Amino acid sequence: MDPLTIAAAGGLRARMETLDMLANNLANAGTNGFKSDHEFYNLYVSPEAQASDSPGTTTTTIPVIEKNWTDFSQGMLVRTDNKLDLALDGKGFFTAKGPSGPLYTRNGSFRLSPKGELTTADGYPLLTDDNKTIQSQSTSPLEIAKDGEVQQDGQVLGKLRLVEFPTAAPVDKVGNTYFQMTDPLSKPTPASSVKVEQGKIESSNVSAASSAGHLVKVMRQFEMLQKAINLSSQMNKSAVEEVAKVVS
Amino acid sequence: MIRALYSAATGMAAQQTNVDNIANNLANANTAGFKSRRAQFHDLLYQSMVQPGTASGQQTIVPTGLQLGMGTRASSNEIIFTQGNFSQTSNPLDLVIQGNGFFQVLRPTGDIAYTRDGSFQLDKNGNLVTSSGDMVQPQITFPPNAQAINIATDGSVSYTLPGQTASQLAGQLQLAVFQNPAGLNSIGQNEYLATDASGDPIIGTPGSQQGAGTLLQGYTEQSNVSVVDEFINLITAQRAYEANSKVVKAADEMYQQVNNLSQ
């Protein structure tokens, strides 16, 4: 294939993946604590092309989505007046005890298990600073302070472990609004500037307006690339049919 | 491409569930003792195209990777047990629980159900029953000529007989509390059943240690549905549905263009 078609086809594929990401963002516009994903385009340069440093040659580069980045910006806090709804104001995550290592989430719609343990909506117990769980002692409501300290009937039950991720540490989404750290060497650090708001919940940070704009952009770029492929095929066709015509 | 279509479809399905839930809340805006439900959503699994943390060179690793999500799902709709407003009825058999407790009633099947709807009535034998005829537990019976029925804040039920001044004790109402009331199973008629998630009921007299609350005679507890909030939720659900349908359309158009590539 000629370089134009290759580059345009790479662009088409990248736009398709962008649409997949956009579809997932918009599908999760109602998911509490959800953080939207955005694409990061890059140019793919084949290893052979990278190796040849001969001057005067142009290498074909193909646009690809190399990675996505998660927009960790604050979602809107919605008042629910439910004592077990917690929202985080600022940078940080709650820590839950997952089946294979800690899970981090900003979805603060919590429950009490039948045994009185404070858990996430999926039943994973929340961890405290000293690696314990919060065990409710009676049926009185839990009072949670801005720094994550949980009290019941004036008695301290523990302090929720609030963490933040070091910059550039690899973080993975594992579904159900949980995040995981993929690199076993990097550890989350205690969150420094986060406030716990009881009776509120953080809604998804997907912006419908900017997503709609993005959608139009992706569709138009896709159309443009499709035109480019058609153009390239027409040029090939003319080259074969017109230029190489032998006048008899 | 197909991913985008299906992710958008999951979004539409989730918003439909959301609207179903809002419709039920609004339909019960005038049901005494009704507790609203709130739909909760979760994102689905992610397909890792490039695993974060893999080596991208001899010294460097990919810091974020490429993960494509698969959409959303409605995970639960939990019951919100906030206190509803009180409305005065002056009916001596209307009760409100000021607290987290539940009345216990005996269903025709023999199970004990729990309710916060305290608009009680008497059956032909003088038993205290709910408006659907389920008997309140522990059983409370009044003689046919009972007058001036009084239910104290601590749940003791008394009455006087004609021509007498001293009141007679008819029984003692008890309330149940749950460790996790959001885990109760709604069975309609304002009644709930205990489940493994809610834990076993803790029975106590009104006003005792367990936090069940006290009783107030002559009032009913209105539904805790906030019509304004439900309408706001309805608007956001409708707009989110619309946004997802736009993605389906965009995916369709892009697919069409791919099909037009070969001429």
Tens of pLDDT, residue by residue over B99-156, are 889 999 999 999 999 999 999 999 999 999 998 899 998 899 999 888 888 999 999 9
Contact yes or no for A175 and B45 at CB 8 A: yes
Which residues, including other chains, have CB under 8 Å from residue A206's CB and lie 6 or more apart?
A25, A26, A28, A29, A34, A36
- For the entire predicted model, the pTM comes to 0.79
**pLDDT tens digits for A95-152?**
999 988 899 999 998 988 888 899 998 889 999 999 999 998 887 888 999 999 999 8
Percent of the residues in chain B that have a pLDDT greater than 70, as a whole number: 94
Does A236 contact B at CB distance below 8 Å? no
Which residues, including other chains, have CB under 8 Å from residue B148's CB and lie 6 or more apart?
B92, B159, B160, B167
Contact yes or no for A170 and B237 at CB 8 A: no
* Substitution target from B46, B79, B180, B246 for chain A, most A beta carbons within 10 A: B180
Percent of the residues in chain A that have a pLDDT greater than 70, as a whole number: 91
Residues 73-92 (A) with a CB less than 8 A from some CB of B: 80-82, 84
Contact yes or no for A116 and B75 at CB 8 A: no
Contact yes or no for B179 and A12 at CB 8 A: no
Minimal Cβ distance to B65: which of A28, A67, A169: A67
Give pLDDT, residue A47. 60
Cα-Cα-Cα-Cα torsion B196, B197, B203, B208, nearest 10 degrees, comes to 160
Mean per-residue pLDDT for A49-62? Answer: 60
Contact yes or no for B71 and A170 at CB 8 A: no
Does A61 contact B at CB distance below 8 Å? no
**pLDDT tens digits for B195-228?**
988 888 989 899 887 778 899 999 999 999 999 9
Q: Is the pLDDT of residue A176 over 80?
A: yes
For A70, the closest chain B residue by CA position comes to B64
* Substitution target from A20, A68, A85 for chain B, most B beta carbons within 10 A: A20
Give pLDDT, residue A69. 83
Give B194's contacts in chain A (Cβ within 8 Å). none
Contact yes or no for A70 and B48 at CB 8 A: no
Contact yes or no for A29 and B240 at CB 8 A: yes
Does A138 contact B at CB distance below 8 Å? yes
Does A15 contact B at CB distance below 8 Å? yes
From A147-156, B54-63, B80-89, the region with the lowest mean pLDDT: B54-63
For A142, the closest chain B residue by CA position comes to B179
Minimal Cβ distance to A215: which of B45, B63, B246: B246
- Across A241-245, B63-67, B204-208, which has the greatest mean pLDDT? B204-208
